[in-house]
Structure 1
Amino acid sequence: MVVVGVGSNRGDSVAFVRAGIERLRTFAACDFRCSSLWRTSPVDCPPETDDFVNAVVAFEAVDALTPDALLDALKAIEREFGRELDPVRNAPRELDLDLLLFDSQTCQDEYLTLPHPRAVRRRFVLAPAAEIIPQLVWLGTGQTIAALLADLDDDADAQRVDPP
């Protein structure tokens, strides 16, 4: 199963997230699942950063898709939606697409780390993911997404705002 985080905190974030989700459907062979939209507080962002709208999608990938090819495609989609390389880490953006898991594959290089190294500590990933794949065991943790969310010790805010 491929898991992708979708987020936005600039412009019409709800519309950007919904459009991003629709673009991701092209990579699914079957079993495309999408969480509700969530309004979440920013994490590791510059001061005064607006809240995010986030969602998570999970799907079985088309046969020829590789993690590197999907990451390239995700970055291209982000650019189509106006994302530019910003020297400020985690600056506001119209669309943010994060490759979180790709089946049971692991990778760690300068371009891609799988599974995503911070996803299991982020409510804006775990809350939406728990809606659609609560029993999925997160690679490398031995825990389900539901258990990871239940054990999360943070003060980040995440509120469901809209179905997809």
Structure 2
Amino acid sequence: MIVHRAYMAVGTNMGDRKANCLNGIKAFVQATEADLIAQSQLYQTEPLYVEDQQWFINAVFVIQTKRPPLELFHIAKRIETEFGRDLSEQRYGPRVLDLDILLVDDMVVQTPQLIVPHPRLHERRFVLQPLSEIAPSLHHPVLNKSIQELLSNLDDGNKKVYCQ
């Protein structure tokens, strides 16, 4: 069986944000029967797109798993729902838990449900900053740049990202 290395993002801006992030990571690792390889620090970040909401806590983590990307996606959505997220809620609005697949190995996946690498990965400091902490030389298979290069080239108006 093939073993994949998946790079995941977690975030929340509702409830006990720190606990939601850490418990979300734990639940995902357990549900996917994965090994947790690395985890970034927690970052407090300004909201994007819908700015009139509480700041987020975000992190990135890396797992080693035998599960394919689409299965990881379905597990992530199930866990978000179990944590109380209404998947019909406002896009980019407040959420109790958000789990996103950023990268899986050097795979490129395009289905109606899932796009890997995450299509907005290169636009988001709240993902690039923690990802560069744990995997700065990781290669984006579509943009052909390292995570550190993507972060250095990011033009997002200096959205604020603080270590917790």
TM-score (norm. length: structure 1): 0.90
How many residue pairs get matched?
A: 158
Structure 1 runs (4+) deviating above 3 angstroms are 27-31
Q: Distance in 2 between matches of 1:35 and 1:56?
A: 5
Give 2:41's aligned residue.
36
- The gaps in structure 1 that reach 5 residues or longer are none
Secondary structure of the corresponding residue to residue 152 of structure 1 = coil
- 1:52 aligned residue: 56
Task: State the Cα deviation string for residues 54-111 of structure 1 (Å, max 9, x = none).
Answer: 00001222x2x01111100000100110001234212211100011111122122221
- Please identify, of 50-59 and 79-88, the stretch whose mean Cα deviation from structure 2 is larger: 79-88
**Aligned pair partner of 2:163 in 140, 160, 163:** 160
1:78 to 1:29, Cα distance in 2 relative to 1, 3 A = closer
Q: Deviations over 1:5-29 (max 9, x none)?
A: 0000011111100101112333365
Counterpart amino acid of 1:86? S
Tell me whether 1:72 sits opposite 2:74 in the alignment. Answer: yes
Question: CA-atom RMSD, angstroms?
Answer: 1.4
Unaligned runs of 5+ in 2: none
Paired with 1:31 and 1:11, the residues of 2 have a C-alpha distance of: 25
CA–CA separation in structure 2 for the residues paired with 1:6 and 1:69: 17
Residue type at the aligned position of 2:125: R
Determine the C-alpha separation between the residues in 1 that align with 2:74 and 2:9: 15
Mapped partners of 2:25, 2:154: distance in 1:
26
Structure 1 residues 19 and 141, CA gap change in structure 2 (3 angstroms): same
d(CA) in 2 for partners of 1:12, 1:87: 19
Corresponding position: 1:10 with 2:14? yes
**Does the 8 Å contact 1:81/1:95 carry over to 2?**
yes
Paired residues of 2:69 and 2:104 also in contact (CA < 8 A): yes
Query: Contact 1:2–1:101 at 8 Å: present in 2 too?
Result: yes
Q: Percent of aligned pairs with the same residue? A: 37
Contact 2:11 2:21 in 1 (8 A): yes
